[in-house]
Structure 1
Amino acid sequence: MKYRKKGRWPRMHSLVANIRNETLKIAYKKKTVFFLIMTILIPIGAGLLIANFQSSIGIGAIAAKDFPIAMLGLFTAIFLPLFVFMGASDQFSGELGDRTLKIVLTRPISRFKVFASKQISLGIYIIAYLAAAFIASILSSLLLLQGSGKLGAAFISWIIAYGAAFLPLITLSVIAVLLAQFFSSSSGALTTSILLYIAAKAAAFFFPQVSTYSPTSYTEWHLMWIGSQMASGKVFSVFIFLLACSILCFTAGFYFFDKKEL
């Protein structure tokens, strides 16, 4: 019991404290606020445009119950991966380039805790942006209601889909953090991450057999969780694949981070 009080809890406290510091560092960046504002405005703007378009032609192109899922597909395929790449580049390559990472490592905290706290803080913001997109999309879907339509039956599906979207995004963040270990500037890491992401998406499009082994092919994994018949076997296999990719890339990322000389 004495060992727990003197050893484990102080170590846990240092990790929590560093997670808080890393989370606040991201919050103070202007691009973080910009992404949050855009996460809210995109569904609202899309809802207004679609509602005006449908009212002018008298045809419902997108139903209100489908709107949040359509917005989630946009966020997981383009918008949130871009934020993930920026965050990983800034937290590792950017801090290495401006030498603030060296200051962090002079604190009485292990390199593993520094690495893990940066990765966890990225995960926290992924959850925050998904929550913001979820709320904004639900409110915007009200603009598409016609007559006495109801959205209650679709609400559970929305929650499941937005919750399931976390795993592919956190996997992308772990991969982006691994790539960031090979660069000393955030611009180089960001550019490489974006180009590799586009290349992986294009390769899966032209060569469908590649998609099975590419984590970037599962940004729409949330679609497997909704519908009348959920493919439970495929959901589980994709879950194991993404989890394995996350563990391997996290381990490799920490290895290169730990070997890095500042």
Structure 2
Amino acid sequence: MGGFKATLINEIEKLYKKKKIIVAAALALIFIIVGQLATIALRNGFGVRTVGSMEFPILVLSVVANTIIPLFAALITIDSFSGEFSQNTMKISLTRPVTRFKFFTAKLTAIILFVFLNLMFVMVFSVLAGLIFNSNTLTAYGIIRIFISYIVTIFPMIILVMMIIFFSNLINSGIGVFFLSIIVFLGFKVLGILFSDYSGIFFTSMLDWYNLWIMSVFPFIKILREFLLLCSYGIILFTGGFYLFDKKNF
């Protein structure tokens, strides 16, 4: 366990030093500010009824969960695997007294923490933006709905990260992994639209599964079905990604 902890701390430090994290946070903050200003302009300038302070963070989540966070999760994941492969720094990291399984798991955990912190960052600032400009709709129930929505979104994000890790160990080129990830991501999105009856089997459609958690009538069976499907994706991608990583010669 000590080897895993030390490796995890080292991977977190490496991610912390990457400028992509700052850029991701800045873009998310800019989006929140612009979104809130647009909401105010529509309400005051045109008299259009807009979302309240409790609905605004959910609206922000629906956008960033399908754009900014997946994009930067992909960039960070590619840097952590393909980037280190090409720079031959992976070999140095593996000289530490830690198994490849622990090393692989530590990298995955560090990336998941990055995604989770991004979600929490967006949640906090979107809630604050909503409260500053429209505090009348603040309720404890609304806060709980927002918190649950952001927390459960981490699960499909983990599957996305695992998919990119799998591609990173399958293809040596970081650029190739990036474009392949985009093609697969958009491909699943398009297939989900064209075959709406079967959209539930594509993990990209589950980026919005937080909507199930905040419905007035809790759809337990549907949530359980999608959770088991996410687990299946996770097992397959984790096993495949580690198998390819373990077979690499450094």
TM-score bracket, normalised by the shorter chain, equals over 0.9
Q: Partner letter of residue 102 of structure 1?
A: K
Match for residue 233 of structure 2?
A: 245
The 10-residue stretch of structure 1 (116-125 or 78-87) with the greater mean CA deviation from structure 2: 78-87
Q: Does 1:214 align with 2:202?
A: yes
Shift, 1:174, TM fit: 1.0
Match for residue 255 of structure 1?
A: 243
Contact 1:96/1:185 (<8 A) preserved: no
Shift, 1:128, TM fit: 0.4
Mapping of 1:159-178 within 5 angstroms?
A: 159-178=147-166
Q: Separation in 2 of the partners of 1:133 and 1:227? A: 22
Match for residue 221 of structure 2?
A: 233
Q: Separation in 2 of the partners of 1:216 and 1:227? A: 20
Q: String of CA shifts for 1:190-217, please: whole Å, max 9, x gaps.
A: 1111111011111111122442321111
Q: Does 1:133 align with 2:122?
A: yes
Q: How many residues were matched structurally?
A: 250
Q: Separation in 1 of the partners of 2:69 and 2:20? A: 13
Mapping of 1:116-131 within 5 angstroms?
A: 116-131=105-120
Please provide the CA RMSD for this pair.
1.4
Q: String of CA shifts for 1:212-260, please: whole Å, max 9, x gaps.
A: 3211111101110002112111001101110121111101100000001
Q: Does 1:112 align with 2:101?
A: yes
Of 65, 76, 79, 1:76 maps to 65
Q: Partner letter of residue 21 of structure 2?
A: T
Q: Does 1:94 align with 2:76?
A: no
Contact 2:52/2:137 (<8 A) preserved: no
Q: Separation in 2 of the partners of 1:86 and 1:195? A: 15
- TM-score of the aligned structures, taking structure 1 as reference length: 0.91
Q: Partner letter of residue 145 of structure 2?
A: S
Of 20, 25, 31, 2:9 maps to 20
- TM-score of the aligned structures, taking structure 2 as reference length: 0.95
> Moved runs in structure 1, 4+ residues, more than 4 A?
none
Contact 1:51/1:143 (<8 A) preserved: no
Q: Separation in 2 of the partners of 1:62 and 1:150? A: 12
Shift, 1:135, TM fit: 0.3
Give the secondary structure class of the aligned counterpart of 2:241. Answer: helix
Q: Does 1:51 align with 2:34?
A: no
Q: Does 1:42 align with 2:31?
A: yes
Give the secondary structure class of the aligned counterpart of 1:219. Answer: helix
> What fraction of aligned residue pairs are identical, expressed as a percent?
28
Shift, 1:150, TM fit: 2.9
Q: Partner letter of residue 240 of structure 1?
A: L
Q: Partner letter of residue 44 of structure 2?
A: S
Q: Partner letter of residue 243 of structure 1?
A: C
Q: Separation in 2 of the partners of 1:77 and 1:179? A: 20
Match for residue 211 of structure 2?
A: 223
Shift, 1:144, TM fit: 4.5
Mapping of 1:183-202 within 5 angstroms?
A: 183-202=171-190
Q: Separation in 1 of the partners of 2:137 and 2:159? A: 37
Shift, 1:151, TM fit: 3.5
Q: Partner letter of residue 214 of structure 1?
A: F
Q: Separation in 2 of the partners of 1:137 and 1:225? A: 19
Match for residue 204 of structure 1?
A: 192
Of 146, 149, 164, 1:158 maps to 146
